[in-house]
Amino acid sequence: MVQISDLPRDLTEEVLSRIPVTSMRAVRFTCKKWNTLSKDRSFTKKHLRGARGAAKKKQTKEFQVIMMIQFRVYLYSVNLLNPSIERIGKLISLDVEDHVDISKIFHCGGLLLCITKDISRLVVWNPYSGQTRWIKPRNSYHRLDRYALGYEEKNKSCRCYKILRFMDDYEDDRALRLIREFEIYDLNSESWKVVNVTPDWDVEFYHRGLSLKGNTYWFAQEKLPPLPRGRVITISDMADFLLCFDFTRERFGPRLPLPFHSFVEDTVTLSSVRDKKLAVLFQPCSASTVKIWISRKIEPNAVSWRKVFLAVDMKPLTGFQFDINAASFFVDEKKKVAMVLDKDRFSYKLTRNIAYIIGKKGYFEKVDLGESTVSSCASLVCSYVPSSVKI
């Protein structure tokens, strides 16, 4: 009896190229022949071409996004008008036993930079191919590190991926001991190098950078000078702006204007629109209205904004402010709707992960994403397009 694993290569390739991205792990564990074929360059191109074609057909209704929930990374199909959020499957895991817990993810060009739960390890991961690269620190990693994943595009077919790690904080407020470290890891040379930066700005450690076209953007604020020991002041207002790190030039760009002005304790978070535009969500702590803007033009040295994409009064819908430490979001530009991930803040213990879907004319839906056993673990969402890039 002929088994499917005995089929001719061209027929096997045709069959396997129709398999969803999330099933590739099972394919690779079926037999050595399929494992070898799945990593072949010609097959991966054909498979990804088919996956992207299928995704484009669904984009009128559905999007595929990556979500990190409860320290695990999954691929979801999202329809924001139906609404439905369906877990398609767990992406190819970082190890066979699934023992790696992830606390933060950063997406760029089909690759994920993952920070482990214990903050002791970094790994660059291609969920499509299953390839991983564990990154050893130059000295050590720190709980207050900020990270970014980007690339220098030398030509259309050659990208040099890099990691930016930086910290600019006082380790002990009493001693006022400043720790300032800026360094870049080059995945090609497999080495770290120190970058000299003297920032006059500050990026809070809970503000995640957003990678777009190979560069990373942050919400940043004016840097305050250290206060003498024992002196306390109340700060309510400071300059705020967008800041970009250019991975080609390996330097930070100028301050870029935001379409609003925020104060301390306001919610501000960034997202991307089809990996081409930047979106920013703003909700003041003194008001209930959530506003989202989408960029008209975005470059490391310049940005322009369209009029408000979406403005929703949350008072009659939820009555609370989205978490300043989380509030990861995703937008459907055509349908004029957005999805914000947070906890069930109607519950004091924050025991459920919730997707809040908001739109024009009072459109509002809640989708329960499951139990939250760790209230401090923020759920994250980002768009995802699989890539065959080798790490």
Domains and CATH numbers, the chain: 7-60 (no CATH), 61-383 (2.120.10.80)
Give the residue from 128, 96, 88, 98 showing the smallest Cα distance to 112.
Answer: 128
How far is residue 263's CA from residue 40's CA, in Å, rounded to a whole number?
Answer: 52
Section 54-76 average pLDDT: 75
Which uninterrupted H or E stretch holds 152? strand 146-155
Pair type for strands 111-116 and 215-222 = unpaired
256 versus 353: which is more confidently predicted? 256
Neighbours of 28 (CB within 10 A): 18
Q: What's the pLDDT at 187?
A: 95
Q: What's the pLDDT at 29?
A: 65
Q: Using one digit for the tens of pLDDT, what is the confidence trace for 295-346? A: 999 999 999 999 999 999 999 998 889 988 777 999 999 889 999 999 887 6
Which uninterrupted H or E stretch holds 353? strand 352-359
**Mean pLDDT rounded to a whole number for the chain:** 84
Q: What's the pLDDT at 96?
A: 47
43 versus 133: which is more confidently predicted? 133
Q: Hey, CA dihedral for 74, 281, 332, 113, is it positive or negative?
A: negative
Section 24-37 average pLDDT: 71
Q: Using one digit for the tens of pLDDT, what is the confidence trace for 83-104? A: 888 887 766 555 544 568 888 9
Q: What's the pLDDT at 97?
A: 45
- Of these ranges, 77-86, 260-269, 342-351, the one predicted with the greatest mean pLDDT is 260-269
Section 214-234 average pLDDT: 78
pTM, two decimals, is 0.86
Q: What's the pLDDT at 153?
A: 87
- Of these ranges, 40-54, 202-216, 333-347, the one predicted with the greatest mean pLDDT is 202-216
Residues of the chain with pLDDT > 90, as a percent, come to: 43
Residue 279 pLDDT class (50, 70, 90 cuts)? very high
Please determine, for residue 199, whether its predicted confidence score (pLDDT) is greater than 90: yes
Please determine, for residue 258, whether its predicted confidence score (pLDDT) is greater than 90: yes
9 versus 299: which is more confidently predicted? 299
283 versus 158: which is more confidently predicted? 283
Q: Hey, CA dihedral for 286, 287, 288, 291, is it positive or negative?
A: negative
